[in-house]
Structure 1
């Protein structure tokens, strides 16, 4: 019934270099600023009519070319509250050497309430998912920014360098009344006291002391743990950005790179496709013959677990890689989401302005650009770019594997792979 909501904001700053003698009137430390802000923002992520259960034209239902209608498998409550984010932040800005060196630091704290999430349901309800105000969590972190402009200035050569870093930690403070854990699809869960959002996936039975997989002392085969195991979060905690710009006699070279870490990503679709068809490097273990399960332990007969050095798997080839003992163990396809990425490199040349004196044409600039040029991944990720994620309808599958709109952190096998982009341009200035 409430179709409007109020979200205010306020910020203030203090210019210290104008208040404190000796800061603004010297060539070493020339700028200092303190700032603070508080704001409350509201948001509704639903589409028009999304709180109504509708119908769509069916395919081959009820039979042949006689078409009927299917009820949509996503249910939506009539009453949803707007989600709100209360943000508080303080920061400092410093300038040195007549602003050749600029440094900024910010600390922030966010309280997120009534978050609207697409929550997975059991298929026995007749639906696969529903929207709920299903979580409250906090975000807090720091953001640092350093600009060296110029870092180097020698005659016609000028080099600028910028670096930024952010660290964020979040924690779920509430799920639902009397509920501390809720699945939202894609093997992601909202768990009170944990990060938003956390992977929980099927795993092997492991030695609680070492974390190594326990294999059968006769067959050498691992066993599927009946309980899902909690792993890391799907959002990065640390992001580092680097930007380099070099100017010399009309030539400009620019490069941007980025590093992310602290999160995990799931490659179950891509990984299973490769395993099922014997394409992945794992399937070639020991010449595609029986193999020692990596990093495993075995009962020595007395109840003591020792490192497995001679009990090979009884199954191999398709009898191993294309079966549930591999494909249903989703932890096999969880990897670090860390990466270094060369996001962009550009080279431009601006023709000297003296060539255009007295002409209508004032300048010509030629440029070439490359984007997404290179990605470096840790060894735990032999599959693809960690930013390569996708989303399909929740109606296509059950809770464990449905894409419910909360697809960040999970790759899909239904998208084209990441691509490098190259471009060229000519700019005319009149």
Structure 2
């Protein structure tokens, strides 16, 4: 086999800017105006060719030596965005600040009817301490707020219905098929996010304490989705702007404090805490999911799956063969976003030594622990090494009896959402022995991978030493410092085992997190001052 691949491309950014600045206009007002235009353009090309069914003459590697007509494929992607924009920055008396922006883009990846779109923003802040008398312990107090629109166009050729050509697919016949099974039925508009934020920051006690609090609200509408349509149309989905809207709300708090400030010793700490969730604001009567948890005011980060069937007392229901039964309906397990995330950093200096220690983590939410699930599936999980497995492997006995009950009589009827409409079942204890291997691969630990990823991580430890100036200068250096750093030093996880929940994903087999240890040596060579020659 012989093949050749070639890929090439370029990107081009061109900007034209005009600026006007004027101080002390109408008293204490300063004005800074900027206007401009830009063009962003890129292109990627790919060409691939390979022999088919081997080569004719051994040792001659050429496409012309292909036993049959060579396989050839090529692609080309291009996009261009032209823009006009402006910025007005106003400040009054060093206390009140206002920025207003406006931008209009023309994107080649959108239909001609929606190609042009405008988005503005406004941001302002006020230094309260410059306008009013503050207590002696208040050094600075700032209040800020912003409002902005941002718009997102589409990927290259997302709105085009074009063909992918195949060469010699059947004898000498070529083929042409749609490159994607998406149909554009109407003019698709950019997706829009409206964001507003308010916050305040205060510096206290001669800047020994700094507190920053922010609240933000992101409202998303005209969302672009690929909605499923009947395959009889020749396509499987259609690209539309859905009427479904979403809102994300979040709070962030940061605290910086100088605990100790002395001549030869200091200790500074930083704390941060953040929480954010996204909610459905409006639903689309056609395209929004029809289930029990997708509702106005409900959260978007729903963690769902098919749960194990249980009786009214919560006991696991098993088959006549002694194996647990999963529901045919999807249910809500919980939510994937954390309840909150946090961080804690310490910085200590003593004479010429400095020490850095930082922790962080997350609390709550659910994450798919796929590594644990596959360990049960393959028999590698430590908890699967027990007497029932030994009895089955060594003695050939299927002696494991699972927990829960079996249905003795009766039946159950569900509605379209999996809710019980009528239930006449009676139960008896499960006493049927079964293969432990089969049971463990089916049930595992019973969580179906839905695991609380709460964790605490010692993110970094670092210790450094800076040589006294008299010593470093003696060696011809203006400064010399050595430090030892360790990262990912320690991890405690509540339930999430065999993988690092810090990755926020375990959909595939995830490698464990790596611990890093490093030595840093910084040397600054001193330059002689020739002006001091005697």
With the length of structure 2 as denominator, give the TM-score of the two structures.
0.62
Tell me the equivalent position of 1:205. 309
The structure 2 residue matched to 1:411, chosen from 502, 507, 519, is 507
2:345 aligned counterpart, secondary structure: strand
Tell me the equivalent position of 1:259. 361
1:315 aligned counterpart, secondary structure: coil
User: Distance between the aligned counterparts of 1:417 and 1:174, measured in 2?
Assistant: 41
User: Distance between the aligned counterparts of 1:21 and 1:7, measured in 2?
Assistant: 39
415-424 or 95-104: which moved more? 415-424
User: Distance between the aligned counterparts of 1:254 and 1:36, measured in 2?
Assistant: 33
> CA offset at residue 87 of structure 1?
1.4
Assess if the C-alpha contact under 8 Å between 2:499 and 2:506 holds in 1: no
Counterparts of 1:181-200 in structure 2, within 5 Å, are: 181=289, 192-200=296-304
Tell me the equivalent position of 1:382. 497
> CA offset at residue 304 of structure 1?
8.6
Structure 2 CA distance for partners of 1:320 and 1:348, relative to 1, 3 Å: same
Counterparts of 1:47-66 in structure 2, within 5 Å, are: 47-52=155-160
User: Distance between the aligned counterparts of 1:227 and 1:277, measured in 2?
Assistant: 26
The structure 2 residue matched to 1:30, chosen from 127, 130, 139, is 139
- The answer to whether structure 1 residue 43 and structure 2 residue 152 are counterparts is yes
- The answer to whether structure 1 residue 143 and structure 2 residue 262 are counterparts is no
Tell me the equivalent position of 1:20. 132
User: Distance between the aligned counterparts of 1:43 and 1:176, measured in 2?
Assistant: 20
User: Distance between the aligned counterparts of 1:175 and 1:14, measured in 2?
Assistant: 38
Assess if the C-alpha contact under 8 Å between 2:322 and 2:430 holds in 1: yes
Assess if the C-alpha contact under 8 Å between 1:245 and 1:252 holds in 2: yes
Tell me the equivalent position of 2:202. 94
Q: Deviations over 1:163-208 (max 9, x none)?
A: 011122321224534233179xxxxx9765432221221111123x
The structure 2 residue matched to 1:242, chosen from 344, 360, 371, is 344
Tell me the equivalent position of 2:56. none
2:434 aligned counterpart, secondary structure: coil
> CA offset at residue 104 of structure 1?
1.4
- The CA RMSD measured in Å over matched residues stands at 3.9
The structure 1 residue matched to 2:123, chosen from 11, 16, 19, is 11
Tell me the equivalent position of 1:370. 486
Assess if the C-alpha contact under 8 Å between 1:204 and 1:224 holds in 2: yes
User: Distance between the aligned counterparts of 2:439 and 2:501, measured in 1?
Assistant: 27
User: Distance between the aligned counterparts of 2:494 and 2:254, measured in 1?
Assistant: 26
Structure 2 CA distance for partners of 1:17 and 1:411, relative to 1, 3 Å: same
User: Distance between the aligned counterparts of 1:283 and 1:151, measured in 2?
Assistant: 50
Q: Deviations over 1:58-111 (max 9, x none)?
A: 9xx9699x9989865664748543222211222222222111011111222221
Tell me the equivalent position of 1:279. 380
Q: Which has the higher strand share?
A: 2
Structure 2 CA distance for partners of 1:54 and 1:178, relative to 1, 3 Å: closer
Gaps of 5+ in 2: 1-111, 390-397, 411-423, 526-534
1:8 aligned counterpart, secondary structure: strand
User: Distance between the aligned counterparts of 1:422 and 1:128, measured in 2?
Assistant: 51
> CA offset at residue 36 of structure 1?
1.7
Assess if the C-alpha contact under 8 Å between 1:180 and 1:191 holds in 2: no
1:332 aligned counterpart, secondary structure: coil
Tell me the equivalent position of 1:318. 437
User: Distance between the aligned counterparts of 1:123 and 1:278, measured in 2?
Assistant: 41
User: Distance between the aligned counterparts of 1:143 and 1:167, measured in 2?
Assistant: 7
The structure 1 residue matched to 2:281, chosen from 161, 169, 173, is 173
Structure 2 CA distance for partners of 1:334 and 1:55, relative to 1, 3 Å: farther
User: Distance between the aligned counterparts of 1:69 and 1:365, measured in 2?
Assistant: 65
User: Distance between the aligned counterparts of 2:126 and 2:253, measured in 1?
Assistant: 19
Gaps of 5+ in 1: 184-188, 390-408
Structure 2 CA distance for partners of 1:142 and 1:206, relative to 1, 3 Å: same
Assess if the C-alpha contact under 8 Å between 2:473 and 2:479 holds in 1: no
Assess if the C-alpha contact under 8 Å between 2:472 and 2:480 holds in 1: no
The structure 1 residue matched to 2:463, chosen from 316, 330, 347, is 347
Larger radius of gyration: 2
Structure 2 CA distance for partners of 1:301 and 1:181, relative to 1, 3 Å: closer
1:236 aligned counterpart, secondary structure: coil
The structure 2 residue matched to 1:421, chosen from 516, 519, 523, is 516
Q: Deviations over 1:31-62 (max 9, x none)?
A: 32222221222234x4433444677799xx96
> CA offset at residue 127 of structure 1?
7.3
Structure 2 CA distance for partners of 1:287 and 1:369, relative to 1, 3 Å: farther
Counterparts of 1:69-108 in structure 2, within 5 Å, are: 75=182, 77=184, 79-108=187-216
